[in-house]
Structure 1
Amino acid sequence: MNQPIRGYTLTQWVGSGGMGEVYQAYHTATQRTVAIKLLSRMEQAERFRNEAAVQASLRHPHIALVYEFFVENGLSCLVLEYIEGPTIEQYIRKNGPFPEETAWKLLAQIASALEYLHSRDIVHRDLKAGNIKIARPGKAKLLDFGLARAATSPKLTHEGHLIGTASSMAPEQFSGRSSSASDCWALGVLLYEMLTGQPPFGGNTQSETGRRIQKGDYLAPHKLNPRLSKASERLIDRLLTVSPDRRMTARQVLEALHHPALLNAPDWMGPVRKWWDRVKP
């Protein structure tokens, strides 16, 4: 597509999202390089407008900015901050696990973004390694609010319909429910992947992955990374807790990252609860 769209010249294809194609673009008048998301599925137009409305209201150093949203010749366009750098998923695929110190730094940045969202009654609902870019120098940026839900968002999902990426979904999302606690489960999945290079809930089929998630059945991360600290293991354990009411919040994660001694307090009932989650029918 060589024809400029409202002053934006598309310069490079970046990738595909759940609802459209993403391009790098340049605006001659402002001399700004941006990312433009073009809606490719017209049946998703209402969700696309909701993404624009939710993300445009946000200002946080670890959330990608929205500059504008418009419809040009029937084409819905979302203009976003362009972020140079790989996603966390791309980094892991190329380099393997992150050093623990780096993983904690990135986790703190994303937890800060989640705490900001949750304080505004916004749930991201699709937090995953592929939706977080690492800008230079080591600054995480949360992307893709296509599934985000704010208190003021219209109801766009039928009751019981699954929303999210299966491997990062919390147990309750398989029943069509989601909350800020669901984002925190996904934060635990993200930390596990950053520290081991592997997703915690593998499976040959989506139903097998779902069964393991709903049981909280994952391989202890130190078996994949023997150098892992006890603090990281406990943090993962307290995020990948089946009951959303017992899961750490984004604010608690931030507190634990700043004061790791908080993770040293023994959780005597934790192993019992984990065992019950795995054996209960």
Structure 2
Amino acid sequence: MNQPIRGYTLTQWVGSGGMGEVYQAYHTATQRTVAIKMLSRVEQAERFRNEAAVQASLRHPHIALVYEFFVENNLSCLVLEYIEGPTIEQYIKKSGPLSEEVAWNLLAQIASAMDYLHNRGIVHRDLKAGNVKIARQGKAKLLDFGLARFANSPKLTHEGYVIGTTGSMAPEQFSGQSSSASDCWALGVLLYEMLTGQSPFGGSTLSEISRRIQKADYVAPQKLNPRLSKASERLIDKLLTVSPDRRFTARQVVEALRHPHLLDSPDWVGQMRKWWDRVKP
């Protein structure tokens, strides 16, 4: 592990990403601590290069930076900003649900990052609690762009191939379709998990989870956390909506979090549509 790679000394193993192993490393010349993601599956080389190209083009306070990409001894390496702190998933497992104030603050930061991506024609496609770190002073940092792509870039999967993390996937992703609206569904899943400590679409089998997702069939979050405000419940409803066209955009999420009164009025039409989505064959 201590054998330098392009001037980087690996100091400890951090975990596994979508396509490779991630290590903490130290660069002697710049005295910078970084994260290095190393490709573990040669057949995924094209997707790994795509991840580097997508993330290297981004500059946003809530998206981890890419410093460089290189190939050394046939080993593809992506050098990233090292973020100290737990992922949201790790935090929930250790400490349980977040307070509404903290959850809203984190969601506002993540939604801002998603709005930035969507305005540049980029769909993340794998937003989840395990891909967001909570850094110092409660700053959210979005990680892992292994499944992201530009809207006009070539597809790296076969048509109809399901891609993503099942529990956070939008209904349309089960048909191989994804868009910015799919990322917004994942925002709803993330908010639900932060406020309740549970996934909205749990199940014992993948087919059961898929069925529940495609009907937006989830337990009302207030039943799991009675202290939640109506605003949180309505925001989740606006995001966990079967039709992509009716979901809140990332920009609308940011605005709603800044101005909660936008969520004051019950959406009776939306509630009827959600009821119909759940009961229709």
**Shift of residue 271 of structure 1?**
1.7
> What's 1:103 paired with?
103
> What's 1:13 paired with?
13
Bigger Cα displacement from structure 2, 123-132 vs 265-274? 265-274
Long gaps (5+) in structure 1: none
AA partner of residue 22 (structure 2):
V
AA partner of residue 52 (structure 1):
A
AA partner of residue 244 (structure 1):
P
> What's 1:228 paired with?
228
1: CA distance between counterparts of 2:21 and 2:135? 21
Long gaps (5+) in structure 2: none
2: CA distance between counterparts of 1:231 and 1:125? 26
> What's 1:65 paired with?
65
**Shift of residue 151 of structure 1?**
2.8
2: CA distance between counterparts of 1:7 and 1:271? 57
Q: For residues 12-70 of structure 1, give each alpha carbon's deviation from its aligned partner in whole angstroms, at most 9, with x where no partner exists.
A: 00001121000000000000000000000000000000000000000000000000000
1: CA distance between counterparts of 2:148 and 2:266? 35
2: CA distance between counterparts of 1:18 and 1:109? 23
Report the 3-state secondary structure (helix = DSSP H, G, I; strand = E; otherwise coil) of the residue aligned with 2:110: helix
Please report the TM-score for the alignment, with normalisation by the length of structure 1.
0.99
Report the 3-state secondary structure (helix = DSSP H, G, I; strand = E; otherwise coil) of the residue aligned with 2:134: strand
> What's 2:125 paired with?
125
1: CA distance between counterparts of 2:148 and 2:176? 14
Would you say the 8 A contact 1:39–1:77 is kept in 2?
yes
AA partner of residue 216 (structure 1):
A
2: CA distance between counterparts of 1:125 and 1:24? 25
Matched, 1:89 2:89: yes
Would you say the 8 A contact 1:50–1:153 is kept in 2?
no
AA partner of residue 55 (structure 2):
Q
Please report the TM-score for the alignment, with normalisation by the length of structure 2.
0.99
Report the 3-state secondary structure (helix = DSSP H, G, I; strand = E; otherwise coil) of the residue aligned with 2:158: coil
- Percent of aligned pairs with the same residue? 86
1: CA distance between counterparts of 2:60 and 2:195? 25
Matched, 1:80 2:57: no
**Shift of residue 270 of structure 1?**
1.5
Would you say the 8 A contact 1:147–1:164 is kept in 2?
yes
> How many equivalent pairs are there?
281
1: CA distance between counterparts of 2:39 and 2:152? 22
2: CA distance between counterparts of 1:232 and 1:224? 13
2: CA distance between counterparts of 1:261 and 1:234? 11
> What's 1:153 paired with?
153
